[in-house]
Amino acid sequence: AGLAGPRLFGPAAATGELVVSRLPLPAPFQVPLPIPAVLNPVARNPDADRYEIVQREATMEILPGTRTPIWGYQGTFPGPTIESRSGRTAVVVHRNELPVPTVVHLHGGHTPADSDGYTTDLVLPAGGTHTAHAGMHDPAAKVTQVEREYVYPLRQKAATLWYHDHRMDFTGPAVYRGLAGFHLVRDDEEDSLPLPRGERELPLMIADRAFAEDGSMRYPSIDPTLHTVHGVEESYVEGVLGDVILVNGAPWPVAEVSATRYRLRVLNASNARRYDLALDPPPPGGQAFTQIGSDQGLLDAPRVHDHVTVAPAERFDLVVDFGRYPIGSEVTLVNRLGAGGTAHVMRFRVTRRATEDSHIPDRLADIEPLDRTQATVTREFSFRGGRIGDRHGWTIGGHPFSPTRTDVRPRLGDVEIWRFVADVHHPIHLHLVHFRVLSRGDREPGPYDAGRKDTVDLRPGEAVEVIARFDGYRGRYMFHCHNLEHEDMGMMANFEVF
């Protein structure tokens, strides 16, 4: 009992299986919204900052009165936020004190291949005995360290990036147990704008989880009471959906805000759940959200939305003007794709007047235009269910992932169009590049496709074309579905920039 929730399919729903918590859940909107601590560098030189992160087991009070074991960067979930300047290198040394090998990927980073967190470039457990097995899938994998230095040159625009685990076949359970954090990149172009800042800029990492009787996170393959096949539960290949919505690691939290504009950097860090966010009540006389940015930073110009659909790994930079609500208002961030508890995300309590010092300019950022005429090739990829050996899995172009097969070889500097088709929802992410959505369903891009993207919400029966320039670095990179269970069950492939 418990695991077999409804199978959810179709354009309106997430793809996944609901995992039900087995302990009483707290009332929503009681826990204050935590903001992840910003990590201090251990050293700075004229053009680089050096950070050290220890990946370790810890316990956290996620549900009030309950201790939950987690895997955390610095023992916290979310991990600490790293804040960088565009063009200034961040060197992050990760030490693995977890019981399993790990891989760190900076999602959205324009990163040289050897620091990109290729899925078999493992950081071995400091106390572990995994060495003999660690490289078995990929003879080229670098498997010697318990500590690894990742170098991020960050020659890219200001953006909401995030870092998370990326180990082959085990990304879903590792991220679920807590291995995810923000990495914000700032630049002068963005700083020159009068956007809400300081305490009026809130990073919001939204992620769903389910909990076992003992307070631990309930993930099918790590739940010893469940029958497993090859270490995975057959029924969860669609994706794991929890029944508790966490924001920055707190269940349905509440934030007190002044009656002013706030910038919400929304990240969907859920394994499989899609959200359709709206405000309840909607603001009188206007739309809930002014979108100022997407995955890879500011839009050229703001766009307004009364609701915003967010697929796994997508980021939406949204400004909400709480000045439109009377003092004392309770404004709930709701999820129109959810039901029961998952229909709510968090609450804002408008508690006080304050001086407004922000506004949203009509022009935000200069964005390099990319159009069809620049493309040297159009490639097509289909994302579908399929068999992997004797079990159900997921494929790209008919193949499950293999680290030894290169599927695509874009030439350094070339502009390419990639066309994606799907059987069910798949949020598709490309490493290294940012892209623009050219079309959706052979029409104009959708309302949430604007700007510089690195993840696109691919839907059944609706082809999407994206255009990207493969510049900066040569080497082997991954592209994959960011439904982490789909990714772990084969929906990943390699491209090699040459």
Residues in the site for ligand C2O, rule: CB under 6 A?
105, 107, 164, 166, 313, 429, 431, 478, 480, 482
C-alpha–C-alpha distance, residues 151 and 348, integer Å: 38
DSSP strand pairing (240-241 vs 16-18): parallel
Do residues 313 and 429 lie in contact, with contact meaning Cβ atoms separated by under 8 Å? yes
Q: How far is the CB of 363 from ligand C2O (least distance, A)?
A: 30
Do residues 258 and 269 lie in contact, with contact meaning Cβ atoms separated by under 8 Å? no
Do residues 318 and 303 lie in contact, with contact meaning Cβ atoms separated by under 8 Å? no
User: Is 481 an interacting residue with respect to Cu ion (CB under 5 A)?
Assistant: yes
Residue closer to ligand C2O by CB (options 168, 319) is: 168
Q: How far is the CB of 315 from Cu ion (least distance, A)?
A: 18
313 binds, among ligand C2O, Cu ion, none (CB under 5 to 8 A by kind): ligand C2O
431 binds, among ligand C2O, Cu ion, none (CB under 5 to 8 A by kind): ligand C2O
486 binds, among ligand C2O, Cu ion, none (CB under 5 to 8 A by kind): Cu ion
Residue closer to ligand C2O by CB (options 251, 427) is: 427
Q: How far is the CB of 270 from Cu ion (least distance, A)?
A: 13
Residue closer to ligand C2O by CB (options 249, 312) is: 312
Please pick, from the candidates 486, 490, 492, 497, the single residue that binds Cu ion as defined by CB under 5 A: 486
User: Is 483 an interacting residue with respect to Cu ion (CB under 5 A)?
Assistant: yes
Residue closer to ligand C2O by CB (options 2, 472) is: 472
Contacts to Cu ion from residues 403-462, by CB under 5 A: 426
Residue nearest to ligand C2O (CB): 107
Neighbours of 10 (CB within 10 A): 11
Q: What's the token pair of residue 400?
A: 């499950």
User: Is 273 an interacting residue with respect to Cu ion (CB under 5 A)?
Assistant: no
478 binds, among ligand C2O, Cu ion, none (CB under 5 to 8 A by kind): ligand C2O
C-alpha–C-alpha distance, residues 371 and 285, integer Å: 37
Q: What is the DSSP string of 5-20?
A: --EE-STTS-SEEEPP
Do residues 21 and 216 lie in contact, with contact meaning Cβ atoms separated by under 8 Å? no
Neighbours of 140 (CB within 10 A): 12
Sort 358 into a burial class: Cβ within 10 Å, 0-12 / 13-18 / 19+: middle
481 binds, among ligand C2O, Cu ion, none (CB under 5 to 8 A by kind): Cu ion
Residue closer to Cu ion by CB (options 319, 481) is: 481
218 binds, among ligand C2O, Cu ion, none (CB under 5 to 8 A by kind): none
Q: How far is the CB of 275 from ligand C2O (least distance, A)?
A: 17
DSSP strand pairing (315-321 vs 261-268): antiparallel
User: Is 478 an interacting residue with respect to Cu ion (CB under 5 A)?
Assistant: no
Q: How far is the CB of 270 from ligand C2O (least distance, A)?
A: 12
Q: How far is the CB of 122 from Cu ion (least distance, A)?
A: 24
Do residues 325 and 263 lie in contact, with contact meaning Cβ atoms separated by under 8 Å? no
Do residues 398 and 437 lie in contact, with contact meaning Cβ atoms separated by under 8 Å? no
Q: What's the token pair of residue 382?
A: 């289909």
Q: Is 119 left (phi over 0), alpha (psi -120 to 50) or beta?
A: alpha
Q: Which residues make up the interface to Cu ion (CB under 5 A)?
A: 426, 481, 483, 486
